Amino acid sequence: MSVPVSASPADLYRHGLRLLLDKDIPGWVGLWAEGGVMEFPFAPLGWPRRLEGREAVAAYMRPYPERIDLHDFPEADLRIHETADPRTIVAEMRGVGRLVGPGRPFDMTYIAVVTVEDGKFTSYRDYWNPLAVLETDADGAEALR
């Protein structure tokens, strides 16, 4: 299911979450502008902090389904806030599932600041919880990378 170029940033974001739950990484990457930038300001040492361009985002996300089996982004935990800039939203959410390798539960909270232009993500700052990684053993932490 494609999202029209005129989709609001919130609609595009929600569509992206559905694609991630469907493990449609190529579809999710297709929501990105060619020069889009994804940043992880709270990434632990040794983890990527900035991905520049759709291809870098694609390379980072390609193995995601083999590492994390996402089951849900509970609607009760999803809050999308509009900002003074109509292109930008702030999303609060929680992703739940299982770490594929170790088979342990995955439960991560996120805050994302997302900018959309011409129906594509151009900036995505993902403030995920690094404490969840630090509380996981080496196998679990490797599964998240």
Neighbours of 139 (CB within 10 A): 12
* End-to-end Cα separation, the chain, in angstroms: 28
Residue 30: the pLDDT is 98
Distance of alpha carbon 52 from its chain centroid, rounded? 15
Joined together, the tokens standing for residue 136 give 């996981």
Greater confidence, 5 or 140? 5
Average pLDDT over residues 107-119: 95
Length of the chain counted residue by residue:
145
Joined together, the tokens standing for residue 139 give 């196998």
Q: What is the pTM of this model?
A: 0.87
Least confident window among 1-5, 51-55, 57-61? 1-5
Greater confidence, 3 or 51? 51
Q: With 0-12 CB in 10 A as exposed, 13-18 as middle and 19+ as buried, what is 36?
A: buried
Residue 143: the pLDDT is 46
What is the per-residue burial (b if ≥16 Cβ within 10 Å, else e) of 67-96? ebebeebeeeeeebeeeeeeebbebebebe
d(CA 133, CA 40): 14
pLDDT tens digits, 6-17:
689 999 999 999
Ordered domains of the chain (ranges, CATH): 9-144 (3.10.450.50)
Joined together, the tokens standing for residue 105 give 């539960």
The torsion angles phi and psi of 74, rounded to 5 degrees, stand at -55, 130
In this model, does residue 137 exceed pLDDT 70? Answer: no
Average pLDDT over residues 5-32: 94
Beta bridge partners of 110: 93
Joined together, the tokens standing for residue 4 give 């029209």
Joined together, the tokens standing for residue 129 give 């919880």
